[in-house]
């Protein structure tokens, strides 16, 4: 029976010890996460939250102090379990003696792609990533954005079913970013599980279905982007020509008040409060422009989580 989860961690913990003083620092503290097959998953967190250490433990680059990381229910420390993974690390340093095509050939061979398939896939991917004319050029001549694109090509050359991307848009201009997102959408449609570790909240919000927010090594929040950003409250808008008494009565229980183009917006935390506001406005013969449920941005959720 195929595993339900592409990635699964149970109590994953990493404690770093300094070599001499033996001082301990817990980078990841008992993280249990489940990433279903075929989903797009974003891992968020402030600097030093333990995101990169977590990703490295998924790939067995860092050994967990406790807990387990599973790829399709197999321990990720077993090399064969990593065959379905494509990975683009943060701050990668591809050897500059490679040409673009040479680099793809090397990493594809390490992923077990046959010579025939490599010969076919390399030009295809260079074309897809807009690097068709750069295949024979040494990586030393590539710009940061081009290195990021060739890095993505090496991550997908063996057609992985799980793609782990650490800051995939780092150094890429907005057009290139859009291009990368389109490629990732194409892979998502084919059922690839995409796991993104990124500081760019807008990018994660645009692309990912599920997210987890890591804070001080622990999962502070997890859920779908839709769930996390919904239910912030309600906005009641009314024409600006209302008495000061009405305005202050509404302002007393509104969480926010803002005026724009002759309209005043009152923000309320609950539906009951919004209805109470409407009753008050109607009782004072004031008109109601609109009442709409409002959502939070992922950025607001993120900040509330790490600061609250």
Question: Of the two residues 104 and 286, which places its CB atom closer to another protein in the complex?
Answer: 104
Question: Of the two residues 196 and 298, which places its CB atom closer to another protein in the complex?
Answer: 196
CB 264 → another protein: shortest distance, Å? Answer: 53
CB 88 → another protein: shortest distance, Å? Answer: 8
CB 199 → another protein: shortest distance, Å? Answer: 18
Question: Of the two residues 135 and 233, which places its CB atom closer to another protein in the complex?
Answer: 135
CB 102 → another protein: shortest distance, Å? Answer: 7
CB 68 → another protein: shortest distance, Å? Answer: 16
Q: Which residues contact another protein (rule: CB under 8 A)? A: 16, 56, 59-63, 79-83, 85, 87, 89, 91-95, 97-98, 102, 106-107, 109-112, 114, 154, 164
Question: Of the two residues 91 and 245, which places its CB atom closer to another protein in the complex?
Answer: 91
CB 61 → another protein: shortest distance, Å? Answer: 5
Question: Of the two residues 16 and 185, which places its CB atom closer to another protein in the complex?
Answer: 16
Dihedral, 203, 209, 210, 215 alpha carbons, nearest 10: 10
Question: Of the two residues 104 and 250, which places its CB atom closer to another protein in the complex?
Answer: 104
């Amino acid at each position: 029976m195929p595993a339900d989860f592409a990635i699964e961690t149970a109590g994953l913990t990493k404690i770093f010890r300094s070599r001499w003083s033996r001082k301990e620092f817990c980078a990841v503290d008992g993280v249990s996460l489940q990433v279903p097959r075929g989903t797009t998953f974003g891992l968020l967190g402030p600097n030093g939250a333990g995101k990169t250490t977590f990703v490295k433990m998924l790939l067995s680059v860092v050994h967990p102090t406790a807990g387990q990381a599973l790829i399709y229910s197999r321990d990720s420390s077993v090399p064969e379990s990593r065959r379905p993974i494509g990975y683009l690390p943060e701050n990668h340093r591809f050897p500059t003696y490679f040409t673009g095509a040479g680099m793809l050939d090397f990493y594809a061979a390490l992923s077990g792609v046959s010579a025939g398939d490599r010969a076919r896939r390399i030009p295809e991917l260079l074309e897809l990533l807009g690097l068709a004319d750069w295949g024979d050029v040494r990586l030393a001549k590539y710009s940061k954005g081009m290195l990021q694109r060739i890095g993505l090509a090496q991550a997908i050359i063996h057609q992985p079913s799980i793609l782990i991307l650490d800051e995939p848009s780092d150094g890429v201009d907005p057009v290139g970013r859009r291009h990368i997102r389109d490629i990732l959408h194409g892979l998502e449609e084919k059922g690839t599980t995409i796991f993104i570790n990124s500081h760019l909240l807008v990018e994660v919000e645009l692309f990912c279905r599920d997210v987890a927010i890591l804070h001080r090594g622990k999962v502070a929040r997890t859920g779908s982007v839709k769930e996390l950003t919904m239910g912030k409250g309600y906005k009641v808008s009314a024409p600006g020509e209302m008495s000061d008494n009405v305005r202050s009565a509404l302002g007393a229980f509104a969480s926010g008040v803002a005026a724009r183009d002759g309209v005043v917006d009152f923000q309320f935390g609950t539906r009951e409060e919004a209805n109470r506001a409407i009753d008050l406005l109607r009782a004072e013969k004031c008109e109601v422009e609109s009442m709409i449920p409002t959502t939070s941005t992922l950025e607001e959720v993120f900040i509330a989580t790490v600061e609250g």
